[in-house]
Structure 1
Amino acid sequence: MQAPVIPSRPEPHQQLEHTSRLMLAAAQRSDWSEVRRLEGVAQGQVAALRLQAPRPAPAGPAERQARQRALLAVLRHDAQVRALAEPVIDRVTQGRPQLH
């Protein structure tokens, strides 16, 4: 009889990537309330990663590559969310006095 396989908990980098993917999907639906909510989730995940900063280096090249892929995906998702949000922000702020 084999021992049951216990799924491993996703790495913090992968959790952040998942959240950024959800943010992009919400932005594509123009669900800005959900984008804002997920932004708060992502901020918490980034804070948790910063607390782990002194954490040992990845165990090997595969883990290092997985972290790098996850962080690059987060950056791509962020750029796409910003591209979708900028026209909305411009429309909302049009005609309002700019604060300097």
Structure 2
Amino acid sequence: MPEMLIDYYKAIENSSAKMLEAARLKDWDEVVRYEGACAVLIEQLRYRAQNEDLEPEQRKEKTRIMQRILRNDAQIRILAEPWLAQFDHVLEGQPQVLH
């Protein structure tokens, strides 16, 4: 369990890296699982960030972590495009129901 605010950023980066690894293996179930873990961590981070600040050095580290997460996300999107296109093809002709 993360203890300091910066630990949440590190945990999110770790899940992001695992998502990328799973995407490279075309293990989309794992990608979705790690995406869920990221979502939970992000909510916890938002809650903690309301009452806690990062130290100046931690803010620099946060920036580096966020850049790595964004790079991972971009790579995951590139890897997922063929899978998403296939998914869209499967849905073609299906009735579209919005909830």
| TM-score, structure 2 normalization | 0.81
Question: Hey, what's the Cα distance between the residues in 1 that align with 2:52 and 2:43?
Answer: 17
RMSD: 2.1
One-letter amino acid of the counterpart of residue 18, structure 1: N
Question: Hey, what's the Cα distance between the residues in 2 that align with 1:97 and 1:50?
Answer: 40
Aligned length: 92
Comparing 85-94 with 15-24, which one deviates more in the overlay?
85-94
Q: Which has the larger radius of gyration?
A: 1
Q: Where does the alignment leave 5 or more consecutive residues of structure 1 unmatched?
A: 1-7
One-letter amino acid of the counterpart of residue 17, structure 1: E
Q: Where does the alignment leave 5 or more consecutive residues of structure 2 unmatched?
A: none
The alignment partner of 1:94 has SS state of helix
| TM-score, structure 1 normalization | 0.80
Amino-acid identity (%): 32
Partner of residue 94, structure 1: 89
Partner of residue 3, structure 1: none
Of 50, 54, 58 in structure 2, the residue corresponding to residue 58 of structure 1 is 54
Partner of residue 5, structure 1: none
